Amino acid sequence: MIEAVIVFPIVLFTVFLLIYLGLFKLQEMAILHQVQRAARQGSFLAASPGYETLGDFQSKQIDFTASPEDVDAYYQAYHDSIPVLYREIFGSGAWLGRGDLDDLMENMEKDTMILAGISLTDQSLEVRRSLLSTRVEAQVRFGLPTPGALRYFGYDGQMEFLSGSVSTAISPSGFVRNVDLACDAIAVPLEKLGVNDDLDKIMEGIRKYLF
């Protein structure tokens, strides 16, 4: 009986601790999944003008029933205006509004809360544009009340955690188009100047040296 009095509370505490840690890990993975999904969908919006016309891009269901009208609307939005047509110069701000990004994070708390007491203290979705790439960064900071056992030892307040994800906004077809335009922009003037043969010799020398 004495051994049971000593051992049983320890075993019970260990079991409940493992259950709690398992639930917390599940909660953390649920939030991380939503953060990654928001960053990924944000990168699609930033890479492809008109992406939102193909359907409800916030839905968890995959839609394989796009109609010809949806495709026409997508290509119309893809060439909607001069800023969109020359999006490499004007950036994704030509078609992507702040509200489009906010909508991706709007249902974060409703869709991901598993543990009681979890609260989202901060969430953000930002487009970071640089010279060579555009990135979409999603971050969620959430708080968890300190368990009673830790409060007993003086750890009051709540614990804070951060989940984040980064996705690069890139359109493969747009990348090929840009490379082709860049090659033409170099090749045409060189052909007009009659120095194509000299360039070929230089490139052949570089290939031999590097490879």
Contact 164, 33 (CB under 8 A): no
Per-residue pLDDT of 27-43, as tens digits, reads 888 888 888 888 888 88
Predicted local confidence at residue 125, as pLDDT? 85
Percent of the chain topping pLDDT 90: 0
Q: How many helices (H) and strands (E) does the chain have?
A: 9, 3
Joined together, the tokens standing for residue 76 give 């119309």
Distances (CA, A) of 202 to 22, 189, 211: 62, 17, 14
Summarised one tens digit per residue, pLDDT across range 139-157 is: 888 887 776 666 666 666 6
Which residue's structure tokens are 């004495």? 2
Q: Hey, where are the domains in the chain?
A: 2-169, 171-211
Q: What's the pLDDT at 26?
A: 86
What's the half-sphere exposure (Cβ side, CA atoms, 13 Å) at 70? 12
CA 145 to CA 161: how far, in whole Å? 11
Backbone angles phi, psi at 22, to 5 degrees: -65, -45
The per-residue pLDDT for range 74-100, each reduced to its tens digit, is 778 777 888 877 777 777 777 777 777
Q: What is the pLDDT of residue 211?
A: 58
**Residue carrying structure tokens 């269901």:** 61
- pLDDT above 70 (res 120): yes
Identify the CA nearest to 159 among candidates 117, 124, 125, 107: 117
Long-range CB contact pairs, 57-62, < 8 A, 24+: 58/103, 58/104, 58/107
- Beginning with the edge strand found earlier in the chain, give each strand of the sheet holding 119-129 in spatial order: 119-129, 134-145, 158-169
Question: Mean pLDDT over residues 125-130, rounded?
Answer: 82
Model confidence at 208: pLDDT above 80: no
